[in-house]
Amino acid sequence: KNLLKRAKQLNQDLLAEKMKLDKATSRAQEDSEAIASLRDELAKGQAELSLREEKEMALQLEADTLTRQKQELEREAAAKEKLAAELLQPQIESLERAVEDAETDLE
């Protein structure tokens, strides 16, 4: 009788341990799936970050190029303005003299 009770108790203990093991295995599987999902999200985030960094570098390069072009155009405009002023200066002086002569004649 004692042996039978002991066997039943051991069987119940064994079933309880098996249930604990099944729960632990189930939790481990869920955790493993969650980890895999998080790794996928991390990989997607890293890919998106990499793509955004590449776009940022491309835009920065474009901005630098446009800044250099703007500076070159400003230099060209200033040089053309200076040249135009130098070419027109003799005519301006001649016209100023003509105005002064006309004013003198009117007096």
Q: Which two tokens stand for residue 57?
A: 């570098």
State yes or no: pLDDT of 106 exceeds 90. Answer: no
Q: pLDDT tens for residues 89-102?
A: 999 999 999 999 89
pTM for the model: 0.55
Q: Which residue has the tokens 């890293």?
A: 46
Q: pLDDT tens for residues 56-68?
A: 999 999 999 999 9
Q: Which residue has the tokens 């003299």?
A: 97
